[in-house]
Homo-oligomer: A and B are copies of this chain.
C-alpha cells in the first residue's frame, strides 16, 4: 500500500490506533491536519517529508497524494478523528482510486463517542437512549441526505428493513450489509433497501447495515482499495 488515510483520533495522542502509529513511524511522507496533536507529528521518522495540510487547497492535496503515491513512497495522510466521519477522507480516496493509486483506510477513534466519553457522557445507555443522530453545525438549516447505520444480529435484518421502509425511506435507496467487518473473512452484500433482507439472507451475524446514497461510492472506492488488500 502506498497511501494510508489514517485517523489520528479525537485529540489525545494515545488514542491513535496501533496500526496507524505503526504506519506513521515508518512513513516517507506525512501530510497532517491542523488539529492533529504535535506528539503524533513527532512520531514520523526524522528524514520523512512533513507537510502541514493547511497550506494546501483540497485539489492540491489530492494531487499531492496521487503524485507521491504513484512514486511508490509510503505516505501517511493523518486526519483528525476518523477519515470517513466528516473527515473528507472519501474525497481523497476517490481521487486516489480514480488515479489508480493503491491506498488503505485506517479508521480512527472519532470525536463522536470519544469526546462525550471524556465528559463522562455515554452516547447510548440502556433505558435512556438507544439511537444516535449525528449532524454537522455547518449545515444547520440545510436539508440534506442522511446515512443510516444499524448495529444488529443477523436475525433482525428483515425487521430492520421493514422498519426503515415504514419510516418512509425509499425501497430503491442503496444499502449494504457488512458481516465480520474489518476481519479477513468480511462479507459485504450490496442491494437496495427493498431487496436487502432477501439478498443478505445467508450472511452470518453480527452485522452492520448501512442505508443511504453513500453506498454508491463503494464501487468507485473499491478499485484500488481492493488492489491495496491484494498487495498487502
Contacts and interface: CB of A to CB of B under 8 A. Distances in A.
Tallying the copies of this chain within the complex gives: 2
Contact of A129 (B123, B145, B180, B221): B145
A217 B119 CA distance: 10
A44 interface: no
A182 interface: yes
Interface in A33-82: 35, 37, 82
Contacts of A109: 7, 17, 82, 107-109
A135 interface: yes
Interface residues of A, number: 100
Interface in A1-58: 7, 9-19, 21-22, 35, 37
Contact of A135 (B17, B19, B151, B216): B151
A213 B129 contact: yes
Contact of A186 (B118, B188, B210): B118
Interface in A109-162: 109-126, 128-141, 144-153, 156-157, 159-160, 162
